[in-house]
Amino acid sequence: MSTFDIHVHIGGIDRRTTGCFMSHPQKIKLKKEMPGSLRWRFQIAEWLGLLDSQVKKRLFSFLNEGPVDYAVVLAMDGVYNRDGYLDEQRTNFYVPNEYVIGLAKECKKVIPGASIHPLRKEWEEEFERVVASGARLIKWLPSSQGFDPADSRILPFYRKLAAKKIPLLVHTGFEHIIVAPSEQQVFGEPKRLNNALEAGVTVIMAHSGTSGGPGEPEYWNDFIELARRYPHCYGDMAAFTHWTRVGILPKIIHHDWVHERLIHGSDATLQPSLDQISGLVGRDLAERLKSSQNPIYKDWKLKKALGFPNEIFTRAGRLLRLD
């Protein structure tokens, strides 16, 4: 069976060529997260107008050199105003659906993951368009996109997802990377997805409700409760090898049941935290992986070394109706 990474990101800043953009605060935040050498490469590529093409080239090299057969590369819709139109002033990170759909035409390993704000004016037309163009799931990041998944106005969107059998990948837990008002972090609570689950939507909770930062709320138990109640509730393992979430791994490795509901996702291009995870996988492996820049490869090797069953790496094929 084919193997999948269901959670891979791309971004950009060139509206004219890719349609992507980032706010100034978002650029500052991303640069702070980068190691010094990568920060300078980002800055130089931005100055030269080559950032988007370099990011794409780098992602394709990670995919082509990596162990997975397919990766879902995610779009990111923005914030919308009360009339249902894109509010660029409040949108910090934007990747249009057309861009990731185009990537799938350039790289055979790419599966488009579309993003549609459920309260945008023409959401239904956009839904039909992206599905017809090859998108296999819809991705939301409610705390950054500025909506509550429990809002009753979203019920028609949930009914459409269920009818078309399109999975919904939704960020749960605390959001660390995309700039958002702090009061919107509550939109990452898994129980706000009850309406989606009741409507029969296949929900994949990105990060499985985990947050990981000091003092941040943890919803792992909420995810487990919902997964036990709903057979179409899943969680992905995105960023589980990053320092923010390494602490959850000992609970999961020997869990008596949850492996049946987990799906492999790396959260690339976020890099695994090799020093923090070395106590679980062994110092030798962690040191060997330091020579690689490929986060998709490193995340895969670490999870395999931890002994997670193969079904976690193949399960997405069934949910995406590709196997």
Q: Token pair 């980032």 is at which residue?
A: 22
Helix (H, G, I), strand (E, B) or coil at 16: coil
DSSP state of 256: S
pTM to 2 decimal places: 0.96
Tens-digit pLDDT profile for residues 169-199 = 999 999 999 999 999 999 999 999 999 999 9
Looking at residue 40, what is its pLDDT? 67
Percent of the chain, pLDDT > 90? 89
Distance from C-alpha of 181 to C-alpha of 308, rounded to nearest angstrom: 36
Distance from C-alpha of 131 to C-alpha of 128, rounded to nearest angstrom: 5
Q: Where are the beta strands (DSSP E) in the chain?
A: 4-9, 21-22, 70-74, 93-94, 110-114, 137-140, 168-171, 203-206, 233-236, 262-263
Tens-digit pLDDT profile for residues 14-71 = 999 999 999 999 988 887 776 666 676 777 667 767 789 999 999 999 999 989 999 9
pLDDT at 298 over 80: yes
Nearest to 209, CA basis, from 200, 220, 193, 196: 220
DSSP state of 314: H
Helix (H, G, I), strand (E, B) or coil at 263: strand
Distance from C-alpha of 213 to C-alpha of 2, rounded to nearest angstrom: 34
| Span between the terminal Cα atoms of the chain, in Å | 7
The helix-helix angle for 123-132 and 155-164 (nearest 10°) equals 20
Distance from C-alpha of 20 to C-alpha of 39, rounded to nearest angstrom: 19
Give 130: exposed, middle or buried? Use CB within 10 Å, 0-12, 13-18, 19+.
buried
Amino acid identity at 318:
R
Tens-digit pLDDT profile for residues 203-242 = 999 999 999 888 899 999 999 999 999 999 999 999 999 9
Q: Which two tokens stand for residue 118?
A: 């459920």
Looking at residue 43, what is its pLDDT? 74
Contact 123, 85 (CB under 8 A): no
Helix (H, G, I), strand (E, B) or coil at 137: strand
Query: Rounded mean pLDDT of 83-106?
Result: 98
Contact 323, 273 (CB under 8 A): no
pLDDT at 256 over 90: no
Query: Rounded mean pLDDT of 111-126?
Result: 98
Looking at residue 29, what is its pLDDT? 87
Distance from C-alpha of 192 to C-alpha of 198, rounded to nearest angstrom: 11
Percent of the chain, pLDDT > 70? 97
- Beta 21-22 vs 93-94: how paired, if at all? antiparallel
Looking at residue 175, what is its pLDDT? 95
Per residue, the 3-state secondary structure of 271-290, as one string, reads CCCHHHHHHHHCHHHHHHHC
Tens-digit pLDDT profile for residues 127-137 = 999 999 999 99
